[in-house]
Chains A and B, each alone.
Chain A
Amino acid sequence: MAARRPLPPEAELDGFDMTPMIDIVFQLIIFFMLVSDLARARMDDLTLPTARKAQQERSEDPATLVLNVKQDGTIRSSGVDLWTPRMGGNTRVLEDLFERRRNDRRLQEIPGKTDWVKYPVLIRADRSTSFEHVQKLLMIATLHGGVTRVQLGARQETAP
């Protein structure tokens, strides 16, 4: 290696200034970290059925209970398996989840009364899921959760 030649004295100052680049790069990193996290947290990777009349909501109610139903019927919410086909008729976890929500005063239609609740439930099921799994969810939601509003997730159809 050749020994460094002494630079002219002004090179000390006008070397390549990295500061703005580092600023931008940090901002990009923060952006991608936040975006990738938010997109994945509640929505599982599923092939949703298509529907032309599906409405897109700009702002999502944070109280929404998102339930993902996979092709084999596994029901997941926020990354946790609530029901798997191995559990068969044992739906306790789901029932408990709905009952906890029903007893939450903030979610009740009339506070203090556990008849009906007013948070939305979004059911996202894979297009090939057997309907029995969705039906099971609906039944548990009404029986144990007092749920009256359900949203069925669908992909918006683009082609005519």
Chain B
Amino acid sequence: MSARRRPPGELRTEGLNMTPMIDIVFQLLIFFMLSMRFRDVEGKLLSQLPKDRGQAPAASLPVTVKEVRIVLCGGDAAGHRANRAAHEEQVKPSDECRVLVGDEELGSLFRSEKFPDRLKENREICRRLGARTRQLYDLVPASAGAPGEQARRPPVVLDADSETPYEHVIGVVNACREEGIDNVEFAANPRHQKYLPTPPKGPGPAKK
């Protein structure tokens, strides 16, 4: 330690110079404040998957099983546009998604990203879809479940084309939820699948 002798008139300086630290600390503070973004309020739609294996259903389902089926035909497969007016030329096939409940067509949903002005119509179609699904759902007889279990209605099956934008799927699930229908299942339809997962190997998980 240096014992520098202070001249009698000199003021004692502080021991630690805080200025650079405060500079850095402020910079850090400003960085974190600016880089922070509050998360949007997010919600979840709870959904069930079938408790057995997620195999695609065989083509020969027993015809006695009555169920409500919602079909979303998106993309080129739908073959629409036939009755499109000329001023709607900018609507590409991939922007439109036909909605069918049972065998009744309810209209088309449009991508909200490209057609934000159609959001209201989309909502209206979803509302009608919910109402129609509810009507049909009430007609489906409840099947007697396993002994000891309550009789359950078969689920509403949502069969969406692979090209269907995810927002429409959520819209349909939401519409069913609003009508009080909780069990919506997704159809695993092989005709829509480009990327079939490989079935699990070995003795492990396939057992029931």
| A residues whose Cβ falls under 8 Å from a Cβ of B | 4, 6-7, 11-12, 15, 18, 22, 25-26, 28-29, 32-33, 35-36, 39, 43, 47-57, 69, 88-89, 91-92, 94-95, 99, 102, 114-116, 122, 124-132, 134-136, 138-144, 146-156
Contacts and interface: CB of A to CB of B under 8 A. Distances in A.
A131 B194 CA distance: 11
Q: Which of B10, B169, B193, B208 has the most CB of A within 10 A?
A: B169
Contacts of A52: 174, 178
Interface string B77-114: 00000000000000000000000000000000001110
A39 B37 CA distance: 8
Interface in B31-67: 32-33, 35-51, 53-55
Q: Which of A4, A131, A138, A141 has the most CB of B within 10 A?
A: A131
Q: Which of A124, A132, A140 has the most CB of B within 10 A?
A: A132
A138 B158 CA distance: 13
B173 A51 contact: yes
Contacts of A153: 42-44
Contact of A128 (B11, B165, B204, B205): B165
Contacts of B177: 51, 53
B162 A115 contact: no
Contact of A7 (B11, B29, B37, B166): B11
A142 B53 contact: yes
Interface of B: 9-12, 14, 18, 22, 25-26, 28-29, 32-33, 35-51, 53-55, 72, 74-75, 111-113, 160-167, 169-171, 173-174, 177-178, 186, 188, 192-200, 204-205, 207-208
A18 B22 contact: yes
Contacts of A128: 111, 113, 165-167
A27 to B, nearest CB: 10
Contact of A149 (B48, B167, B174, B205): B48
